[in-house]
Structure 1
């Protein structure tokens, strides 16, 4: 049955997770994620946020008063979901459950703004940093807590879309 994965079924996906190296590549290359949290009434919701991955942790920023900041203060349990869309070839994803720490100190903010703006906008970090360095800015540090859920569609024959063979790659006409 395993030989049929991707061409006849998508039921048994064992072995299609991201290995440690592929996960690290995804998290250090991609810069956008879904940040999932619970509202005051317990309903799960999320926002799309930019992030950096440093020393095994997600680092993000927001402004006091926003729903996700209030939620993080109320319940530290969050999930961060990252896909390879727009950043890497092949369909890959990882969902990481963790606990968020909301930093409001100047030292963390200064460190974060330097790292964040230089990574996400290396051709003009100072202008963006000036915009982000606002009076009510906070920094989220998400510390992973559980084994991540991941998927690497490149490991599925037929690209996981029922093709009997890999599609031919288009060639450049010179």
Structure 2
């Protein structure tokens, strides 16, 4: 098997061995978070990693909010260990290119009714723009809780638009 040609050039022209040039700019993360409505929330359950796909919103300071129900695996996991990871991909968002941000964070389950309903009301226009009030009524249930994730660091990111040929080869 021939060795890849690692000659200098625009990243993605001849190889994609080093994807450092494809890291997403911090200024572009907000565009991804605003365009996408679902992400993967990973957490530990019984000492083992697991994950769920969840709808979210992100505050101006980068804090993620998730609405869920008491007793679900993500609630039990976060209650047992607040270390989590969040992965947001551009798949299905309509954004150009392939984009992704993975981050680590510390999670808190909020059960206080005022905090829960404020988070639900923040999610409603984003997830049900045609009738946010109906969405709030739907999620206004006795066992509703919210998970807050405060990011501690970005662990990986990717933006194929930064590569020649959108990361598929070519110029």
2:21 and 2:163 in contact (8 A); partners too: no
TM-score by length of 1: 0.88
Q: How does 1:117-132 map to 2 (within 5 A)?
A: 117-132=124-139
In the alignment of these two chains, the number of paired residues is: 163
Q: Deviations 1:19-59 (Å, cap 9, x if unpaired)?
A: 1211111112211100011120x221101000001121100
Q: Which stretch of the first structure deviates more once superposed, 10-19 or 134-143? A: 10-19
Answer yes or no: is 1:113 the counterpart of 2:87: no
Distance 1:39 1:114 in 2: 29
TM-score by length of 2: 0.90
Q: Runs of 4+ in structure 1 displaced over 3 angstroms? A: none
Distance 2:124 2:155 in 1: 27
Distance 1:94 1:32 in 2: 13
Q: Which stretch of the first structure deviates more once superposed, 26-35 or 68-77? A: 26-35
**SS of match in other structure, 1:95:** strand
Q: How does 1:35-74 map to 2 (within 5 A)?
A: 35-40=41-46, 42-55=47-60, 56-74=62-80
- Equivalent position to 1:25, from 31, 40, 53: 31
- 1:172: which partner in 2? none
Task: Please report the RMSD computed on the Cα atoms of aligned residues, expressed in angstroms.
Answer: 1.3
- Unaligned regions of 5+ residues in structure 2, if any? 1-6
The structural deviation recorded for 1:111 is 0.9
Q: Label 1:160 to 1:29 Cα distance change in 2 as closer, same or farther (>3 A).
A: same
- 2:101: which partner in 1? 94
- 1:14: which partner in 2? 20
The structural deviation recorded for 1:4 is 5.8
